[in-house]
Amino acid sequence: MKNKIILIVGGSGGIGQACAELFSKAGAKVVLAARDKKQAEEKARAINENGGDAFVIQVDVTDHASVSAMVKEITDNLGPIDVLVNAFGTGIIQPLLDIEPDNAKAVFDVNIYGTFLVTQAVIRNMAEEKKGTVIMFPGILGKSVMRNTAVYSASKFAITGFTKALVEEHRRSGIKFSLLYLGGVATGFWENPLVEMRVQKDKMLTPDEVAKAVYYSASQPGHSVLNEIVIQPESHQMV
């Protein structure tokens, strides 16, 4: 990973920051992209103070111009992006009939449209370079459903289908795609008032555990790719 450029979109969240820490320790240059720069800047400062190489950039994943500017700034100043970690997203777990349409639209805008915009912009760059790795987080609800997840699962199944189609589209482009189907992860996701589910965060996966899976996916040798991985907590997490 020495001197590779790792773009982590969702750099203010627990998974994104854990990934930044691990990649930086391996000698990579990490870019934490986030809508709210404050937490990302705190993490980047800590990484740099410990001898790492971290940068922060503000982005609105639902805005085409913002996403395009992000990719251009990175490639102009650091070089081609080697790994894209799409660690962003927003949640909603409510009965369908209770969901406000604007809240559903916000989930689709971030999780689906945002993933499209970011991935398209980065892949355009990777296709020119004939190399790159894209890591997606459909989560376990992008593979299996549960009660009250109609809208959220729809957004995550979209990421699964989107990524699998890109695998077929880019078989000869040198770009690798990995899908991580994660069970519950102890992050700020569960503090969202639209996520109406009581959980035991101490029984969930930790961001550090997830980061190790991300790093493993990104460090596969040139002739191989980790297509899909499922990681679940050993214990039941719901209260």
Mean pLDDT of 155-184: 95
Mean pLDDT (whole number) for 131-142 = 95
Mean pLDDT of the chain: 93
Chain-centroid distance, C-alpha 224: 21
pLDDT, position 37: 87
Percent composition of the chain: helix, strand, coil (DSSP 3-state, to 5): 45, 20, 35
pLDDT at 70 over 70: yes
Average pLDDT score over residue span 89-93: 95
**Window from 141-150, 174-183, 186-195, 230-239 with minimum mean pLDDT:** 230-239
Per-residue pLDDT band for 236 (boundaries 50, 70, 90) equals low
The predicted model gives 214-237 an average pLDDT of: 87
Helix (H) or strand (E) holding 55: strand 53-58
> How many CB atoms sit inside 10 A of residue 25's CB?
14
Neighbours of 76 (CB within 10 A): 8
Say what the pLDDT of residue 187 is.
85
- Helical spans, DSSP H, in the chain: 14-25, 37-49, 64-77, 101-108, 115-129, 150-169, 207-218
Residue 74 has pLDDT above 70, yes or no: yes
* Res. 120: pLDDT tops 70: yes
CB atoms within 10 A of CB 134: 26
Q: What number does CATH give the domain 5-231?
A: 3.40.50.720
* Residues in the chain, total: 239
**Bridge partners, residue 93, by sequence:** 195
Residue 135 DSSP SS3? strand
Alpha helices in 94-194 (DSSP H): 101-108, 115-129, 150-169
Cβ neighbour number for residue 168 with a 10 Å cutoff: 7
197 CB burial (10 A radius; 0-12, 13-18, 19+): middle
Residues 215-237, mean pLDDT to the nearest whole number: 87
